[in-house]
Chain A
């Protein structure tokens, strides 16, 4: 991707001639450290070079500005800025030439000289050839396609590559789920694709003449292949990296409130962060390694600072890493590790270059960032405050030099006399430092103090005080000012007493005091997981369900920080397990989001044992259930636990995404699929669930539902229940999970399997007695049949059989047909299951349906028979089967076309052939 031009200078005819034919000039030049300019190969039309030609290309540095100002040996002035040489000419525009690269030569006796390979000769009159250099830098998949298309003058190379990718996918229906074999397999394909490209005459000739073109072709082939392969390739990569990703996610989630200042990021860089973050978080929208690397590069380039004169000053590695760490943390991407693995391992075109290019550097930087996050070097600072205290206030460095520490230790020793130090802030500090007794002592003392004071005051006063307390902050007095506000420093009228006690309350915090964020001591103890302090605060009567400004309870914090002990203490004291905070997140959401399996377990098991109901499918502000979060961040264990406890993977969030949609690797997907229905949920559907069903307001179902809701509330839940169930069944079928579908439809799948294993005999045998209940008879009578209406339809009129046919599950088709499914049922487009099987080339199912009485000439709304569909799609297998069941070839569809006409239109030669043979055969 650096796409830098390269050629071998010592083979360049201009250079060779200078060196061999003008030895003296050359020797003089290198001893004087003059710069030799060599026009790139091909830029000079081959002719005999004169001594003037050479002199025009030897640059003598000026005395004053040796780096930028030169003169040629032909006495022309030359300036160099930004890798461009500008040559003053007597008339007309100055002549310019790019420096393509600089090469530093050392002779045998270590004389050093510089050669600049330049794009065009430094001669105004030179008749340089128009063989323009392909300086193309490939920056996108479109560039790559463009290159392969134009350089090969046609799309045949693209088509061939696409073809071999397709057949690769066919021959590898499942790709290996381990990085090394996966890479090797794909690497083989790459080799194959590159061979295809280089078999093309034009491409081969061009790449021979210029190394640069060859490099570009390699890159373009790689990109195009990755582009075609991405969907099939990336899931397995994510699966390989599932473990690493979920661990990284847990780390990241737990520090998502990290701030720029926590990472020692320079202030000058703050402004650049939003833009860089925006760029970087798009990395998952690119399919090719090339584009992903470029994305990293752009993000890094966006992090720059400007100096006083508005020049862009870029960064050193020390400045860069922390910013990059911040960007990765904030990007919200669930699979950084997979992205990295893809970029690192699937970059075939630059193999053999080692780590010696810029892409390698960028990828390594990303790797270093991920490693830095993963290593936990940052976990000291997930919450900015704890960072200070936990690192400074350990027992052994209490005698340190920091001011803060000193004031703290001092005040600890004098805590019972110095009221001023006993601010709420100070108590929070003590909690963080885990000084349980001190916290207890101060709070108890204050409480006593307060009680005594209250007793001394009369009732009226109390009421006034409370009233005043509630209309807070109208006069926010600090203790220095309080005396100015009294009638007289020693006055003890009601008003003054009230002011004084109010002030005292502020400076003498109790278990119920709050700081400016609404945090109580119990919140802080829960944040830091100080279980013993949590316990003693609760004993002192702290409010367990106190909420802060974000409506978070201590339980929310204990869950999000993964403090299981504190969490259990809170639960046992009656903390509300389903309390939603300002973003509608419950403690369960918080624990799941941050990957704390221990807390998720604690919440669920506690609910189970105490017979409280934890709302496992509760949605937050964005409509996400805890399962959505577990799926997105790849927490396999948590997802399994949630599923086992009735989490429903097919609920949609506000963006109409289900947990399935968020699963980015196969492991999570498998966990989600293992979902068995939670019957409890069907029974307890409330009207709130109707809303969460996500019906579009003007869709027929939505309208129907609304009507139902007005008329009969009872039926609503039934209807909804049914719709939900149908949705589940059809989904299960589409995943190919026959067992689950049967389960939903109340069909006994294992009975069916048994029956299949010993066919006919048991099926046909008559029961011992009409009422007999022996195992044989039982199997025969209700066996695996169901009372469920097997011909149910979804809103588009699809039945289970439609789905089974579409997805080619012949087993399920058999079961459904056995259970009296209507083989000729139609959906809203009048398509029968046979149509769908034909469209999707499911030959087995087609045969099964036809054997079970499906109408081979059924027409859909467009007048197409299954054979029409097959001909239009070019499904050869399906065509063969259909033709063997004597379809009516003369049927015309809505456009007055026969099936044969359609096949001819689409040039499906094999099918045309098949039909011809069929008609001739008859």
Chain B
């Protein structure tokens, strides 16, 4: 959790989910408003920045795409530590991918506690007729673990904007709550006054979310 000079929130968001569920597509759709039928994108797509101004609050989102292949699963913690939010993507036509989301949720809860804001995205709703993950199951599961649930289609640009906006707002709320209730946390916020001494740089205390 960090706030850069002038009160801009810097939030890190990771995209997690099985291979081919559409993580990269969602990200590209959100950032560049593009959809590619092929399974390839840009290097920049592995790390993208987006500036938002939500009702006067400035937010700098850095969104990290991750590799979905199973062989890289063990690297998850390296990518998601220090994240403020996670988007767990599954493909509504693929039950296994939903099972994978459940695993991610478990892992994230275990590693990061409730410091991280979770959002579950059921992607590819343009393929509604092929749906295999039951609607109620997904939603009640999300409810149970305290995550928002969104239906998206990167292809048709449905639900993408809403998903990111809602996540960002929740992260701001969470951040403000924490800085009110937790005295330690406020002291960790680094504010540079032009005049004053440079920031204290004990980086660990400033960044680690747990």
Contacts and interface: CB of A to CB of B under 8 A. Distances in A.
A355 B12 contact: yes
A10 B53 contact: yes
Interface residues of A, number: 63
Given A9-B53, A316-B41, A211 B5 contact: yes
Contacts of A105: 52-54
Interface stretch (A96-104, A499-507, A651-659, A833-841): A96-104
A204 B193 CA distance: 11
A833 B67 CA distance: 65
A294 to B, nearest CB: 15
A190 B197 CA distance: 11
Interface string A98-142: 000111111110101001000000000000000000000000000
A191 B198 contact: yes
Contacts of A208: 194-195
A348 interface: yes
A314 B36 CA distance: 14
Interface stretch (B72-80, B102-110, B147-155): B72-80
Interface string A478-494: 00000000000000000
Interface stretch (B91-99, B118-126, B177-185, B200-208): B200-208
Interface string B48-89: 011111111010101011111101101100110111100000
A352 B199 CA distance: 8
B53 A353 contact: no
A314 B82 CA distance: 26
A375 B72 CA distance: 11
B11 A356 contact: yes
Contacts of A198: 198
Given A104-B52, A358-B47, A190 B201 contact: yes
A361 B40 contact: no
A304 interface: yes
Contact of A355 (B41, B65, B82, B161): B82
Interface stretch (A366-374, A508-516, A701-709): A366-374
Nearest to B200: A191
Contact of B72 (A347, A355, A372): A372
A361 B47 contact: yes
A348 B67 contact: no
Contact of A352 (B2, B67, B75, B195): B2
A191 B65 contact: no
A389 B144 CA distance: 45
A194 B198 contact: yes
Given A191-B200, A314-B44, A102 B51 contact: yes
A351 B206 contact: yes
Contacts of A358: 47, 49
A321 interface: yes
B45 interface: yes
Interface string A285-326: 000000000000000110010000000011111101100000
B165 interface: yes
A632 interface: no
B1 A315 contact: no
Given A354-B10, A377-B71, A377-B74, A101 B201 contact: no
B50 A104 contact: yes
A764 to B, nearest CB: 61
Contacts of B194: 204, 207-208, 214
B67 A317 contact: yes
A41 B147 CA distance: 40
A371 B66 contact: no
**Consensus secondary structure, chain B interface:** mixed
Contacts of B74: 371-372, 375, 377
Nearest to B203: A351
Contact of A320 (B46, B62, B75): B46
Q: Which of A6, A180, A194, A300 has the most CB of B within 10 A?
A: A6
B4 interface: yes
A544 to B, nearest CB: 39
Contacts of A317: 46, 65-67, 72
Given A187-B202, A355-B62, A214 B192 contact: yes
A352 B190 contact: yes
A320 B43 CA distance: 8
B43 A300 contact: yes
Nearest to B32: A67
B199 A351 contact: yes
A359 to B, nearest CB: 10
Contacts of A371: 74-75, 78
Nearest to B78: A368
A196 to B, nearest CB: 10
Nearest to A107: B55
B14 to A, nearest CB: 10
A354 B44 contact: no
Given A211-B6, A301-B43, A367 B1 contact: no
A104 B203 contact: no
Interface residues of B, number: 64
A425 interface: no
A321 B58 CA distance: 33
A103 B53 contact: yes
A101 B51 contact: yes
B10 A318 contact: no
Contacts of A528: none
Nearest to A304: B43
Q: Which of B24, B75, B192 has the most CB of A within 10 A?
A: B75
Given A354-B12, A368-B79, A345 B51 contact: no
A184 interface: yes
A355 B79 CA distance: 10
Contact of B56 (A10, A194, A361, A368): A10
Contacts of B53: 9-10, 103-106, 115
A103 B197 contact: no
A368 B33 contact: no
Contacts of A195: 197-198
A355 B51 contact: no
Given A106-B55, A207-B194, A356-B12, A368 B75 contact: yes
A115 B6 CA distance: 19
A786 to B, nearest CB: 55
B200 A316 contact: no
Contacts of A4: 49
A316 B197 contact: no
A43 to B, nearest CB: 19
Nearest to B58: A8
Interface in A453-489: none
Interface string A190-226: 1100110010000010011001001000100000000
A353 B33 contact: no
Q: Which of B54, B55, B60, B198 has the most CB of A within 10 A?
A: B198
Contacts of A361: 46-47, 62, 64
B104 to A, nearest CB: 16
A364 interface: yes
A218 B1 CA distance: 21
Nearest to B53: A105
Given A316-B41, A316-B67, A321-B67, A353 B202 contact: no
A357 interface: yes
Contacts of A104: 50-53
A818 to B, nearest CB: 53
Contacts of B54: 105-106
A194 B161 CA distance: 41
Interface string A1-41: 00010101110000000000000000000000000000000
A321 B19 CA distance: 14
Contacts of B78: 364, 367-368, 371
A646 to B, nearest CB: 43
Shortest Cβ-Cβ A-B pairs, 4 listed: A352-B190, A314-B43, A354-B2, A356-B10
7 contacts: A6-B8, A105-B53, A315-B42, A352-B190, A354-B82, A371-B75, A371-B78
Given A317-B66, A351-B190, 6 more contacts: A314-B41, A314-B45, A316-B65, A317-B67, A318-B19, A353-B2
